[in-house]
Structure 1
Amino acid sequence: MKRGDGPDVADFIETLCVVTKDTFAGASGSPLILRPWQHKLLGHTFARRADGRRRHRVALIGEPRKNGKSGLGAGIALDGLFEGMGAEVYSCAGDKEQARIVFGDARRMVENSPDLSQAIKCYKDALEVIETGGVYRCLSAEAFTKEGLSPTRVLFDELHVQPNDELFNVMALAAGARVDPILIGITTAGVKTDSTGKDSVCYRLFQYGQKIAAGEEVDPAFFMAWWGAPDEDDHRLRRTWEIANPAFGDLIDPEDFEAAVKRTPEAEFRTKRLNQWVNTAQAWLPAGAWDTCRGELDAIEDGTEVCLGFDGSFNGDSTALVAVSCGEVPHVMVVEAWEKPSDAGNDWTVPILDVEAAIRQACRRWQVREIVCDPYRWGRTYQVLEDEGLPVVEFPQSPARMIPATTRFYEAVMNRSLSHSGDPRLARHLANCVIRTDSRGSRLSKDAKNSPRKIDLAVAAVMAHERACQEPEPEPTPQFFSWADL
């Protein structure tokens, strides 16, 4: 980036910071030389706006293990010590020992640099720049002890292991009084839930970054850089390792991967070495299966016969409208989705009139065979649409209906006997689905009762696909009688 502090941060690291242990990066004590991709990463992370203010306040950097996260994080932290008078820099992690990893690297860099050791005084749990009062400390996840801080720069090492979001929230709030603070999470992927059973702060930020990348959200204050392999790629292949690891063959020994893939459980290998998220519950669709069914972006032409699937909530969830064509190979397309915005308050509700208008518009665009919906909570809307002559068909989400519908949709995906338009919202909802099995069979579910992960688009798609695959009931044949027959 031409405008920002990234080149200065990189110059600080390469001039004053050293390798702290013998690795592929170099011998202990040798200069820490950044790679081109790290220079580019720093440029984006520390970019500035035209008015001179820092562009990003929160940055999420995702890399598999052994790509130089600790050394880079330590260099970023030490650079932050010299960011004005009274700078406060913190390394945060799930526990004290984890927090000491980045801090320990930073302290060894100071001890091995004549220039840094002259400017910085080392304590057991802190580094201090005497001249400016800048201080650098490591913190663990006991968030209630961190009130009263005023950080200028915060490094979260392995953000995915935070037991909950308390420490992150405390540090974000504490930084609010500073002019240009930045919180940086440098992490690998992990499981999606924290100790409370909700989405972890790291996974929430990752999903938020995906929404920004897909154009669903606009937030210049948030930056995400994520290296990882596509879920559908074979985790045993060298080309998959190279895709996920920017330092593969440089800071990373390929022979280490060849040995690790043989003795590491697949889920752990995918998480730590390929930077892929894993579910604590059994995922419904196999990794990559949905992507293989991708078709044209807008493949349902106007006037095509379709079934509309509608799954509605009112305030706490999302509402979804999906069209599925009724041809030999059904095509699945998101018509509209209403999700609670990330900055909305608790009084947010689904815009009912907008939902009804979207359904009417869809009925004008296509030849709608059925509007398939669960009547729960939306009885008024269904009655209004039915009174207008629209083909509303109730589809209660009971086991008797959802189990065969779920099975049919799954088989269609695995056999590639359906296609879809590649909508990232539907892909996200499908990825959030897990399968629940009991004596009656298997059906879709969230991974926890109060999980914030949305699956409404997936449910709507399953319902619409089920009805689109059914032969329509024939129109009744007119009966003619003569007076003699009476």
Structure 2
Amino acid sequence: MPRSSPNSSPTGTARPTTALDVPGWPPRILTPVDLADQARGDGAHVARFIETLCTITRDTFSGRTGSHLALRPWQRLLLDHVFARRSDGRRRHRVALVGEPRKNGKSGLAAGIALEGLFECHGAEVYSCAGDREQARIVFGDAKRMVDADPDLSAACKVYRDAIEVVELGSVYRCLSAEAFTKEGLSPTRVVFDELHVQPNDELFNVMALAAGARIDPLLFAITTAGVKTDTSGRDSVCYRLFQYGQRIATGEVDDPSFFLAWWGAPDDADHRDPDVWADANPALGDLLDPEDLAAAVRRTPEAEFRTKRLNQWVNTAQAWLPAGAWDACRTEDGPIGDGIEVCLGFDGSFNNDSTALVAVTCPTPVEPTPVVEVVACWERPTEAGNDWTVPVLDVEDAIRAACRRFQVREIVCDPYRWARTYQVLEAEGLPVVEFPQSAARMTPATQRFYEAVMNGSIAHAGDPRLARHLANCVLRVDARGSRLSKDARNSPRKIDLAVAAVMALDRAVREPERAPDVGFFAWDEL
């Protein structure tokens, strides 16, 4: 099982590498690799290692936990390209970037490549890297489970919480996160970057690439889906820059055989709703990936998110949120919400520049299963007002109290930022205040839920122009943490607060209440 030298050649007969009828091959963008370099490379050895020793760690559409991985022909061809060797025996590529949409078997393949690297030479250092430690643990966790599941790997490896060691060879495999300043002094032989597009900047990538300079034939293998083109600094992300560089190599503009790019995905102008586009972009569709999953996802996933995760297309940071006409299609002529109806109130407060919004969303019932959205109140800075204008806090508090008298309010859903005193006052009066911090963990699923409701026609409204305007002002900002609502620019005068309040209120209205109301002053049901 172990290889004594990185220059050792795989045994057995090299398999064909030019078959153009292999399903899923070639990828849309591929840098050239000579057939002779593929044949003398280590791709066949790596494939045998993975298929002989690496197991499926989670039940999937195509296999059960515990069974050995069965690489598809397109995956074997990919390994032939990645692990090609020149005529002098040296590895052809030092950096390989592989782009695939989600659920095409990236994590299992990456874990197998990382484990095989442990046995490449004496003193090998293998690292899994990602944007944060939890992301890095995905590939590393798969590798640990593979070791535990296979007797040969278990006998050869010692498994620790954050490391896998091959004592006989003095080799070690660890997972690292993006705090690049702590990674100086490493000497990696193989680095596996999972989801390179989420790196907040290029520090970790640069550290790992430079750290391998003293090694013979190191490999930095990055496998990722597309994402936004910019990182947290506002510049092109390291992943997008490498993608562009690989494109120039593929077109012959640049000659750099040390860099490899294989990129599955749809062209930028492709119709994201077309099943033929899904098939072209996803090499494992119908095999590792259930076609029904894509058919369901396209109906409930924002377009920008679907394009990045399912079609592997690059997007700008800000994308329009609701398609034109989608909100108008949900309009009802039933009029405003009736008095005494159970609702959740969504409150998004500001102090001066932004607007302050109070929105009611009805709680679904078997009789009325469709939530209805209504603007209760909105305070926007008048165009003629000076810089000294502020939100009338006492009026806002009175409007919330009045809404609690008009409706049966299950929860007042609010972000505590800047309005903590108001929430304390209302809570002291017995009103059911529930904090809803506008963090990525909260807002990403809430935004998704609202989008799905609009696209499926399972939400209604009476056509308030203020809410329609705020929704039209929303863009979808996509970053490493997910997708959330945002203005088109930080200091934009176009307000979105009614939309944010509606998103929060709907998210709570369709869930079980966080707390039972304990109202201390007269409410609707006490009149």
TM-score (norm. length: structure 1)? 0.58
1:228 to 261, 265, 281: 265
- The one-letter code of the counterpart of 1:100 is R
Q: How far apart are the structure 2 equivalents of 1:198 and 1:230?
A: 23
Q: What is the correspondence of 1:269-418 to structure 2 with a 5 Å cutoff?
A: 269-281=306-318
How big is each residue's C-alpha offset from its partner over 1:285-334, in whole Å with a ceiling of 9 and x where there is no partner?
xxxxxxxxxxxxxxxxxxxxxxxxxxxxxxxxxxxxxxxxxxxxxxxxxx
For the residue of structure 2 that corresponds to 1:236, the secondary structure is coil
State the match for 2:455 in structure 1: none
- The one-letter code of the counterpart of 1:121 is K
Aligned-pair CA distance for 1:232: 1.5
Q: How far apart are the structure 1 equivalents of 2:112 and 2:233?
A: 33
Q: How far apart are the structure 1 equivalents of 2:163 and 2:238?
A: 26
Q: How far apart are the structure 2 equivalents of 1:199 and 1:229?
A: 21
Q: How far apart are the structure 2 equivalents of 1:86 and 1:107?
A: 19
Residue 245, structure 1, aligned to residue 289, structure 2 = no
State the match for 2:212 in structure 1: 175
Q: How far apart are the structure 2 equivalents of 1:123 and 1:13?
A: 21
Check whether the contact 1:154–1:182 (CA below 8 A) recurs between aligned residues: yes
State the match for 1:190 in structure 2: 227
Q: How far apart are the structure 2 equivalents of 1:211 and 1:221?
A: 14
How big is each residue's C-alpha offset from its partner over 1:419-444, in whole Å with a ceiling of 9 and x where there is no partner?
xxxxxxxxxxxxxxxx99xx9xxxxx
Check whether the contact 2:304–2:319 (CA below 8 A) recurs between aligned residues: no
State the match for 2:128 in structure 1: 91
1:62 to 90, 99, 106: 99
For the residue of structure 2 that corresponds to 1:138, the secondary structure is strand
- The one-letter code of the counterpart of 2:199 is Q
1:163 to 182, 195, 200: 200
Check whether the contact 1:19–1:25 (CA below 8 A) recurs between aligned residues: no
How big is each residue's C-alpha offset from its partner over 1:231-268, in whole Å with a ceiling of 9 and x where there is no partner?
21211111010000000000000111111000000000
- The one-letter code of the counterpart of 1:185 is A
For the residue of structure 2 that corresponds to 1:135, the secondary structure is strand
State the match for 1:120 in structure 2: 157
Q: How far apart are the structure 2 equivalents of 1:47 and 1:2?
A: 7
Residue 18, structure 1, aligned to residue 52, structure 2 = no
- The one-letter code of the counterpart of 2:155 is Q
Aligned-pair CA distance for 1:282: 6.5
State the match for 2:24 in structure 1: none
How big is each residue's C-alpha offset from its partner over 1:176-200, in whole Å with a ceiling of 9 and x where there is no partner?
1101100011000000000111110
Residue 206, structure 1, aligned to residue 251, structure 2 = no
State the match for 1:139 in structure 2: 176
Residue 72, structure 1, aligned to residue 117, structure 2 = no
Aligned-pair CA distance for 1:104: 0.2
For the residue of structure 2 that corresponds to 1:231, the secondary structure is coil
Q: How far apart are the structure 2 equivalents of 1:16 and 1:215?
A: 38
Aligned-pair CA distance for 1:25: 3.1
Q: How far apart are the structure 1 equivalents of 2:85 and 2:302?
A: 43
- The one-letter code of the counterpart of 1:181 is P
Q: How far apart are the structure 2 equivalents of 1:281 and 1:114?
A: 49
Structure 2, unmatched stretches of 5+, are 1-37, 321-487, 493-527
How big is each residue's C-alpha offset from its partner over 1:315-362, in whole Å with a ceiling of 9 and x where there is no partner?
xxxxxxxxxxxxxxxxxxxxxxxxxxxxxxxxxxxxxxxxxxxxxxxx
State the match for 1:339 in structure 2: none
- The one-letter code of the counterpart of 1:84 is C
Percent of matched pairs sharing the same residue: 77
Check whether the contact 1:155–1:183 (CA below 8 A) recurs between aligned residues: yes
- The one-letter code of the counterpart of 2:313 is Q
State the match for 1:462 in structure 2: none
Indicate the larger mover: 84-93 or 18-27: 18-27
Q: How far apart are the structure 1 equivalents of 2:163 and 2:61?
A: 29
1:130 to 167, 182, 207: 167
Q: How far apart are the structure 2 equivalents of 1:169 and 1:257?
A: 35
How big is each residue's C-alpha offset from its partner over 1:89-115, in whole Å with a ceiling of 9 and x where there is no partner?
000000000000000000000000000
Check whether the contact 1:193–1:200 (CA below 8 A) recurs between aligned residues: yes
State the match for 2:90 in structure 1: 53
Aligned-pair CA distance for 1:281: 4.8
State the match for 2:146 in structure 1: 109
Aligned-pair CA distance for 1:213: 1.1
Q: How far apart are the structure 2 equivalents of 1:59 and 1:126?
A: 24
Aligned-pair CA distance for 1:44: 0.2
Residue 219, structure 1, aligned to residue 256, structure 2 = yes
Q: How far apart are the structure 2 equivalents of 1:254 and 1:216?
A: 37
The root-mean-square deviation of aligned C-alpha atoms, in Å, is 1.7
Check whether the contact 2:201–2:233 (CA below 8 A) recurs between aligned residues: yes
- The one-letter code of the counterpart of 2:61 is F
Q: How far apart are the structure 1 equivalents of 2:61 and 2:167?
A: 34
- The one-letter code of the counterpart of 1:131 is E
- The one-letter code of the counterpart of 2:248 is K
Q: How far apart are the structure 2 equivalents of 1:204 and 1:73?
A: 22
How big is each residue's C-alpha offset from its partner over 1:33-91, in whole Å with a ceiling of 9 and x where there is no partner?
00000000000000000000000000000000000000000000000000110000000
State the match for 2:505 in structure 1: none
Q: How far apart are the structure 2 equivalents of 1:112 and 1:282?
A: 44
Q: How far apart are the structure 1 equivalents of 2:115 and 2:317?
A: 37
Q: How far apart are the structure 2 equivalents of 1:24 and 1:49?
A: 38
For the residue of structure 2 that corresponds to 1:136, the secondary structure is strand
Aligned-pair CA distance for 1:214: 1.4
- The one-letter code of the counterpart of 1:195 is T
For the residue of structure 2 that corresponds to 1:13, the secondary structure is helix
Q: How far apart are the structure 1 equivalents of 2:157 and 2:218?
A: 21
Q: How far apart are the structure 2 equivalents of 1:117 and 1:142?
A: 31
- The one-letter code of the counterpart of 1:68 is G
- The one-letter code of the counterpart of 1:255 is E
For the residue of structure 2 that corresponds to 1:184, the secondary structure is strand
- The one-letter code of the counterpart of 2:43 is G
Q: How far apart are the structure 1 equivalents of 2:68 and 2:315?
A: 37
For the residue of structure 2 that corresponds to 1:258, the secondary structure is helix
Runs of 4+ in 1 over 2 A off after TM superposition: none
Aligned-pair CA distance for 1:138: 0.2
How big is each residue's C-alpha offset from its partner over 1:152-199, in whole Å with a ceiling of 9 and x where there is no partner?
000000000000000000000000110110001100000000011111
- The one-letter code of the counterpart of 1:158 is E
